[in-house]
């Protein structure tokens, strides 16, 4: 019975990560005490990738360091383009564009167990935007006028290339990912569509192995995890800057 309860709790938590790109009337946002609520699929259906995507998207060839300031304190993130080049490239490009500056952490789940701190909805830059609708937006690329989606990208441990557009369960891969959901992992939120991540990301507040193979980790907090632990729902990202490795970005702004 205890195992069944744990499994149900994990399913509810995972459901809460399925965010991004929903119509306002479909969307709902979890409160810190209600991790079960989830949003629905994007209104724009992303294209499914079955192999390494062609580089219309930014790619990080190597690593980069991003320093995010929250509550006047720095959080240092090591972004891993060696193992998640498209996901890492997207994040670094958005940081370079200033997309994350001023955005809110709209979802914080610590009870009954530490889970995630999530933000990155560009709509949250507007202080008058209804809080209950946060978690529904993504980055609108000014070059296309449309929301930028990136493919689900997870590299099995020891593999030469990531798997694109499929969860490990769907692809029948039993190998653990190269970048697991350990405490301090930084990963992309998405809807039920695998290729629907855009700008929303989350910090893992604990080891979350039940997310491995389903959501794309692209880096880790290397300093300032104590700052992440203190983030409250509604706190804003004061700034985010690439302090090292910007030269490794290809195809960005």
Question: How many CA atoms within 13 Å lie on the side-chain side of 30?
Answer: 26
Does some domain include residue 251?
no
Tokens 């690593």, residue? 63
Residue 173 CB: number of other CB atoms within 10 A?
A: 16
Structural domain contains residue 253: no
Q: How far apart are CA 181 and CA 220, in angstroms?
A: 9
Domains held by the chain: number? 1
CATH of the domain at 112: 2.40.100.10
Per-residue pLDDT of the chain (253 residues; tens, 9 = 90+): 444 334 434 444 555 555 433 322 222 223 222 233 333 333 344 444 445 554 589 999 999 999 999 999 999 999 999 999 999 999 999 999 999 999 999 999 999 999 999 999 999 999 999 998 999 999 999 989 999 999 999 999 999 999 999 999 999 999 999 999 999 999 999 999 999 999 999 999 999 999 999 999 999 999 999 999 999 999 999 999 999 999 999 987 7
190 is a domain residue: yes
Residue 237: inside a domain, yes or no? yes
Summary count for the chain: helices (H), strands (E)? 4, 14
Is residue 17 situated within a structural domain? yes
Contacts of 156 (CB under 8 A, 6+ apart): 163, 168, 173, 175, 176, 177, 178
**Containing structural domain, residue 134:** 2-246
């Amino acid at each position: 019975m205890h195992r069944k309860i744990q499994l149900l709790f994990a399913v509810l938590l995972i459901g809460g990560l399925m965010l991004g790109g929903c119509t306002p009337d479909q969307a709902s946002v979890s409160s810190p005490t209600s991790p079960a609520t989830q949003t629905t699929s994007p209104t724009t259906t992303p294209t499914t990738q079955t192999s390494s995507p062609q580089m219309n998207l930014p790619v990080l060839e190597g690593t980069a360091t991003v320093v995010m300031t929250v509550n006047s304190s720095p959080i240092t993130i090591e972004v891993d383009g060696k193992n998640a080049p498209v996901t890492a490239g997207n994040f670094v490009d958005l940081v370079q564009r200033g997309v994350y500056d001023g955005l809110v952490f709209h979802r914080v789940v610590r009870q009954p167990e530490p889970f995630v701190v999530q933000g990155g909805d560009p709509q949250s830059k507007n202080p008058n935007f209804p809080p209950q609708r946060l978690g529904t937006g993504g980055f609108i690329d000014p070059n296309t006028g449309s929301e930028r989606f990136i493919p689900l990208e997870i590299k099995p441990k020891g593999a030469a290339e990531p798997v694109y557009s499929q969860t490990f369960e769907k692809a029948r891969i039993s190998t653990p990912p190269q970048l697991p959901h350990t405490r301090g992992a930084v990963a992309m939120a998405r809807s039920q569509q695998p290729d629907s991540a855009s700008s929303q990301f989350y910090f893992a507040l604990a080891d979350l192995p039940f997310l491995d193979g389903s959501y794309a980790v692209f880096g880790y907090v290397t300093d300032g995890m104590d700052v992440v632990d203190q983030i409250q729902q509604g706190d804003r990202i004061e700034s985010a800057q690439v302090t090292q490795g910007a030269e490794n970005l290809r195809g960005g702004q």
